[in-house]
Amino acid sequence: MGLGRARGRVGQLTIALAIWLAGVGSPALATCQQDVVSIEGDFGKVRFTVEVADEPAERSRGLMFVEEMGRFEGMLFVYERPQRASFWMRNTLIPLDMLFAGSDGTVTRIHRDAIPLDETPIPGGNDVQFVLEINGGLAERLGIEEGAVMQHPAIGPDAALPCP
């Protein structure tokens, strides 16, 4: 097996282990935390450590000028109410996947591999209240699809995947 192929296999195993660990363990793993977004779908469950952008200035800056991000890290954009959402990659240096979700945390659209520094608008659709940005290509590698649901304390009482 070539080195590149071995690295790819190790990466797949790391992702599989992270998904498995996210679904098992102590009660601490099962509780909602401000700096964690859990996503469940047909693929299983995965957790991302996130920075929350819930103020206009934080949402405007987003992940601009970030040079690298850990594999299971991201940013959760939280809006006060559902709205039409559109993003771009101005001053964003890393490729991103953008998961757009409605007020109940259900993913309604995924924009994969947004191109760094591209200022072309990326529409998320109507009735978007949450957007999770993760490393580009990761949604596909994990099997995250539209219809998956997010869990986070900011997602209100009508959450499809409520906090315990």
- Checking if the pLDDT of 28 tops 90, the result is no
| Bridge partner list, 51 | 75
- Checking if the pLDDT of 164 tops 60, the result is yes
Domain positions in the chain are 3-151
- Checking if the pLDDT of 131 tops 60, the result is yes
* Whole-model pTM over 0.85: no
Q: How many Cβ atoms are within 10 Å of 56's Cβ, its own excluded?
A: 10
Nearest Cα to 34, choosing from 154, 157, 119, 160?
A: 154
Nearest Cα to 129, choosing from 154, 146, 110?
A: 154
As a whole number of angstroms, the distance between CA 146 and CA 143 comes to 10
**In CATH, which of 2.60.120.1140, 3.20.20.80, 3.40.50.2300, 3.20.20.140 is domain 3-151?**
2.60.120.1140
Residues 57-90: tens digit of each pLDDT: 999 999 999 999 999 999 999 999 999 999 999 9
Least confident of 21-25, 83-87, 97-101: 21-25
